[in-house]
């Protein structure tokens, strides 16, 4: 029995090093941890240090040096990598144990105010719930012993019930894996590109885009963002930046955030990039113009819209530029429809993968950011063969219903791979 181990809810069962290491392997192999090498390395280190009787050596600096390769003299007041990683680890542990299927397992947490792990036994209620009801009732009711054949039939009932529960759990786990798999497949070309990832976000537009004069070739001109855009970033784009950056950081990718106007072609050639914003981001407009779905404008009808090259006359996915900048809200306000275009492009000019995320209005951008960073939402395209990361260009058109100024869940309206 480990002296430093905390045992709650009774002390009859012993917590051994083997039990702890077995539980550690269950944790690090679960989907809550598989996507974060940093959390796995952190947890393995503090657990092994504790098991070897070195828990008093578990300090911020030792973790920074031993786990994250920091110089022994690094300044912990400036570099918060350990504190940030500990916060992430606590969240992943909480996510793991909140699942009912893990309620009967040995629990691991970090002692509040430190990085030392604490091991506790599951609450008795968690194990009692898994006991056959017929056995529990026999302890509380003074009834004659049942015939062997009756007890055998009950055992068969519970065997089949257990099989059904295992099958249901497997089905749920499979669906969750597929959802996570869809997200990983989409982001794989970005995540597998060496070096940092550029996040280029458009400025806050002070007006609708403009349409340049058509050239002699008759090619549909690409809209031009408002030339007097302010230097602030739209709130919806800021939220999307935070969501995307969190996904990339979970895969240990460095992120560089810049305004679109300060991002050059040379920057895009340095590595993978994510462009946030549609009609307020010139790179988004330029890089999608030759694809099946592109960002277009109908000045005569006062519309910006997502153009489908296979149905160029359609204006279904559109937003009126003559609408009030702040739509009417309230209990009796009408519902609005906003749309977003997500494009993953293997750009021949830069030689790298670029992801473009933008809505016709702010609601669409919020919906697109939510979709790409939520594995459960991406489950809706998990079975699409076009999701394969080998596809050169992948595009997703989303729709969202806006009620009282709040965008609803994103809906997939179209998906295309070229």
**Please, what's the b/e burial string for 278-308 (b: 16 or more CB within 10 A of its CB; e: otherwise)?**
bbbbbbbbebbbebbbbbbbeeeeebbbbbb
| Strand partners for 376 | none
Q: Which helix (H) or strand (E) holds 338?
A: strand 336-346
The residue extents of the domains of the chain are: 17-128, 135-178, 184-417
Residue-by-residue DSSP string for 232-299: S--HHHHHHHHHHHHHHHHTT--EEEEEGGG--HHHHTTS-EEEE-STT-HHHHHHHTTSSEEEEEET
User: How distant, in Å, are the alpha carbons of 213, 230, 288 from that of 208?
Assistant: 16, 13, 19
Q: What is the pLDDT along the chain (418 residues), one digit of tens a residue?
A: 444 444 433 333 578 888 999 999 999 998 888 778 889 999 999 999 999 988 888 999 999 999 999 999 888 888 888 988 888 898 889 888 878 888 889 999 988 778 999 888 876 544 444 434 333 333 433 444 444 444 444 444 444 455 455 455 444 444 443 445 778 888 888 988 888 898 888 876 656 666 665 544 555 666 666 555 556 777 888 889 999 998 898 888 888 888 776 666 677 778 899 999 888 888 888 888 889 999 998 888 889 999 999 999 999 999 988 876 665 555 556 678 999 999 999 877 777 899 999 999 989 999 999 999 888 888 778 765 456 656 678 999 999 998 877 888 999 999 988 7
């Amino acid at each position: 029995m480990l002296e430093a181990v905390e045992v709650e809810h009774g002390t009859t069962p012993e917590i051994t090093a083997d039990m702890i290491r077995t539980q550690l392997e269950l944790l690090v192999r679960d989907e809550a941890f598989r996507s974060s090498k940093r959390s796995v390395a952190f947890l393995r280190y503090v657990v092994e240090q504790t098991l070897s009787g070195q828990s008093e050596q578990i300090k911020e600096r030792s973790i920074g040096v031993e786990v994250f390769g920091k110089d022994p003299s690094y300044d912990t007041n400036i570099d918060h990598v350990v504190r940030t990683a500990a916060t992430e680890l606590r969240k992943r542990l909480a996510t793991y144990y909140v699942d009912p299927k893990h309620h009967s397992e040995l629990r691991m947490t970090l002692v509040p105010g430190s990085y030392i792990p604490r091991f506790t036994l599951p609450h008795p209620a968690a194990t009692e719930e898994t006991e056959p009801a017929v056995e529990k009732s026999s302890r509380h009711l003074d009834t004659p012993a049942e015939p062997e054949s009756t007890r055998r039939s009950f055992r068969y009932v519970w065997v089949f019930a257990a099989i059904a529960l295992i099958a249901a759990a497997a089905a749920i786990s499979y669906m969750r894996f597929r959802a996570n798999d869809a997200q990983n497949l989409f982001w794989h070309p970005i995540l597998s590109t060496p070096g940092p990832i550029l996040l280029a976000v458009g400025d806050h537009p002070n007006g609708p885009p403009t349409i340049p004069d058509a050239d002699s070739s008759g090619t549909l001109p690409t809209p031009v963002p408002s030339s007097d855009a302010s230097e602030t970033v739209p709130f919806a784009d800021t939220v999307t930046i935070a969501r995307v950056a969190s996904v990339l950081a979970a895969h240990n990718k460095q992120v560089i955030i810049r305004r679109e106007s300060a991002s050059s072609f040379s920057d895009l050639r340095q590595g993978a990039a994510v462009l946030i914003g549609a009609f307020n981001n010139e790179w988004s407009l330029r890089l999608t113009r030759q694809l099946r779905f592109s960002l277009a404008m109908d000045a005569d009808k006062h519309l910006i819209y997502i153009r489908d090259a296979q149905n160029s006359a359609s204006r279904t996915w559109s937003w009126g530029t003559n609408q009030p900048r702040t739509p009417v809200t309230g209990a009796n306000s009408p519902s609005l429809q906003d749309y977003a275009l997500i494009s993953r492009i293997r750009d021949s000019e830069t030689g790298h993968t670029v992801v473009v995320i933008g809505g016709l209005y702010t609601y669409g951008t919020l919906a697109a950011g939510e979709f790409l960073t939520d594995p459960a939402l991406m489950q809706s395209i998990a079975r699409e063969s076009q999701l394969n990361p080998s596809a050169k260009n992948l595009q997703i058109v989303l729709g969202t219903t806006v009620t009282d100024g709040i965008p609803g869940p994103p809906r997939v309206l179209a998906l295309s791979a070229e």
